[in-house]
Structure 1
Amino acid sequence: MTDLDRATAFWSAALDLSPADEWSSPDWCTLVGVDGARVLAVMTSASPPEPHPRLHLDLVVDTTAEQDAEVRRLIALGATEVDWDSYPPEPDFVVLADPDGNLSASSTSAGLPPVAPHREQRPYFGSSTKTGISRSVFSWYSA
């Protein structure tokens, strides 16, 4: 990311997080949930975004209607839809780029293991076998 303020504003709004003073610097910002728990950090980088990143923020919603609404919301916040060259036939996800060009995807949760009830309302990091977008559930996905 080349613009820390822009990245902080986008990911805070996208995931309903807030910037924290902890470990803040001109090149780093920790984002926290409403309970103050560290959820995500953004930092500047001189390297360009990867067109096929092995790791990306993976976010999930439950229905195609929620997916459509989430994609529209993220685009309104500054994301752009990417004409990605690796879509499978009949994809159930949409690839988006944040304002700095970093890729993520929007998908429904069909086929994903259920989230434990005590975790449903709180973001968590974990592994997934699918790509997707949600403010309530997210994980790192390794392609």
Structure 2
Amino acid sequence: MLRIGAVVLNVADTDRAGSFWSEALRFDRGDNPDFLLPREGGACRLHLDSTDRTHLDLWTDSEGEQRAAIERLVSLGATRVEWDYPDNADFVVLADPTGTLFCVINIDA
């Protein structure tokens, strides 16, 4: 099932933003303090990043589900984005019809 797994938020200072957002949202700072985790289920994670742009990470549970979700999103008007992917990338970058980037990630990879 395609779902919002994380919102990646571009911030100037991940430590200061992490302190603020963890308290504001009542999220916990995990082993990686740039990943804020909901204390209760149902909410997506918040990733703080000083180099990446703000975007949604949509999660799938398998490679087949990821492929099907990408095909469906493209049929709805999304486009594939040329990207410099690392080896063994678990994500695909797409853009919505207005050009806003987002990722579809196979979290089982």
Is the alpha carbon distance of 1:77 and 1:53 closer, same or farther for their aligned partners in structure 2, counting shifts above 3 Å? farther
Pairs within 5 Å for 1:112-131: none
SS in 1 for 2:69: helix
What is the percentage of aligned positions where both structures have the same residue? 49
Partner residue of 1:83?
82
Is the alpha carbon distance of 1:90 and 1:57 closer, same or farther for their aligned partners in structure 2, counting shifts above 3 Å? same
Q: Does 1:56 align with 2:65?
A: no
Structure 2: unaligned runs, 5 residues or longer: 4-50
SS in 2 for 1:106: strand
The Cα of 1:68 is off from its aligned counterpart by: 0.3
How far, CA to CA, are the matches of 1:66 and 1:110 in structure 2?
A: 10
How far, CA to CA, are the matches of 1:104 and 1:53 in structure 2?
A: 11
The Cα of 1:90 is off from its aligned counterpart by: 1.9
Superposed CA deviations along residues 48-103 of structure 1, whole A, max 9, x for unmatched, are: xxxx8521011101000000000000000000011113x11121111000001111
Partner residue of 2:93?
95
SS in 2 for 1:91: coil
> One-letter code of the match for 1:82?
V
CA RMSD of aligned residues (A): 2.4
TM-score w.r.t. length of structure 2: 0.50
TM-score w.r.t. length of structure 1: 0.39
The list of structure 1 runs, each at least 4 consecutive aligned residues, that deviate by more than 3 angstroms after superposition, is: none
SS in 2 for 1:105: strand
Superposed CA deviations along residues 30-59 of structure 1, whole A, max 9, x for unmatched, are: xxxxxxxxxxxxxxxxxxxxxx85210111
How far, CA to CA, are the matches of 1:89 and 1:66 in structure 2?
A: 20
SS in 2 for 1:65: helix
> One-letter code of the match for 1:88?
P
Structure 1: unaligned runs, 5 residues or longer: 1-13, 16-51, 112-143
